[in-house]
Amino acid sequence: MKIETIAIHAGNTTDSNTKAVVQPITLSTTFERAEDGSYPAGYIYTRAANPNRLSLENVLAKLDGGVEACAFSSGNAAGSAVFQSLEPGSHVIAPEDMYHGLKALMNEVYSRTLDITYIDMSDLAAVEKSIKPHTTRLIWIETPSNPLLKISDIKAICGLAHQHEISVCCDNTFATPVFQKPLDLGADLVMYSSTKYFGGHSDVLGGALVTKTTNTQWEKIKSIQTLSGAVPSPFDCYMTVRGLKTLPYRMRGHEANALKIAHFLEQHPAIEKVFYPGLESHTSHNIAKSQMSGFSGMLSFTIKGGEEAAGKVANSLKWITQATSLGGVESLIEHRASVEGPLTKTPFNLLRLSVGLENIEDLIADLRSALE
């Protein structure tokens, strides 16, 4: 099946009782046992499994070409399960410009049990140099990165990692499986904040992991999912499945708008630099082209005049809303450095833009007015 058909059908079943073509929401927390004590429908307790969650996990696995998926209550919960699956003392290599929320989780919680090295993941030599032969157990990739849109060479990093029997997890939130398939490029796990493009409407929180194989680490992750209880509600699963049905078409719209805005900004005299892998001026454009079929709807740009000028632009927009998060049908903009705090590596004159599905002429007019 092609990805559009998978997105619509892999997460849905016709209800056997009513023949409703959209799967109902199963809110029950518990399920009836048979006389012999077994569970004939396969469900025991909703923390362990739920029909809506299994539907979501099925479509997620198929979209990425994986064998199984685990859905979580947030992207951070999904990432946390990966870190919890590692033995204490394990060494982790991660991007220095990775998503701030997940980096804060690693620093404040997992640095007590894990040895973490942050590097420029777009520098393959730096990756190789950071490997500790006896203790490195995980390389965490985020490509494109948040918010600097750096590109990591997934295939090259995975080849290097597997020479040393190191697992690789790729945060594919920005690209989605519509534009990038990390498992096909050698990654062992793929991670998502499903709050973003999967849900697509800024109204549901969630995270996900997809695996290439059902190995020992994956079994640990599944156990952590059940025992920790950081699982999405049936309603959240239903909403995410609903959002996924239009994902391929929405992503193409996001990318088309983002590319036009990136070109507009690149030519504007008030702009210092545009970070978008779809631009030929991007330092890793060729690597991006080799592993991505499209460049998604996320971009960042720096403004001449510093932080004050960036703030004025963000506050002067009409249709582009100043708010945290990304991946919704509405365009959102944010001054990331002020969110990330004093230790941020994000330039203070940088704005991150999640390009939505509004009419492109309206979006460019909004940006032009704010910049001028």
Active-site hit among 196, 212, 245, 250: 196
In b/e form, how buried is each residue of 255-286, taking b as 16+ CB within 10 angstroms? bebbbebbebbeebebbeebbbbbbeebebbe
What are the φ/ψ torsions at residue 333 (nearest 5 degrees)?
A: -130, 150
Identify the CA nearest to 161 among candidates 169, 149, 171.
169
Contact present, 16 and 25 (Cβ < 8 Å): no
Contact present, 224 and 84 (Cβ < 8 Å): yes
Please report how the helices 247-267 and 360-371 are oriented relative to each other, as an axis angle in degrees rounded to 10. Answer: 30
**DSSP string of 196-209, one letter each residue:** TTTT-SS----EEE
DSSP label at 126?
Answer: H
Active-site hit among 53, 62, 64, 99: 99
* 99 is an active site residue: yes
Identify the CA nearest to 358 among candidates 324, 322, 325, 321.
321
HEC states along 288-343? HHHHCCCCCCEEEEEECCHHHHHHHHHHHCCCCEECCCCCCCCCEEECHHHHHCCC
* 196 is an active site residue: yes
Identify the CA nearest to 251 among candidates 133, 355, 106, 128.
355
Show the beta-strand stretches assigned E in the chain: 68-72, 91-95, 115-119, 136-142, 167-171, 189-192, 207-211, 271-275, 298-303, 321-322, 332-334, 350-354
Rounded-to-integer distance, Cα 131 and Cα 139, Å = 9
Active-site hit among 64, 97, 153, 171: 171
Helix ranges, 229-284 (H): 234-244, 247-267
Q: How far apart are the first and last CA of the chain?
A: 48
Contact present, 119 and 95 (Cβ < 8 Å): yes
Active-site hit among 47, 252, 260, 304: 47
User: HSE-up of 123 (CA within 13 Å, CB side)?
Assistant: 12
Tokens linked to 294: 């499209």
Active site members: 47, 99, 171, 196
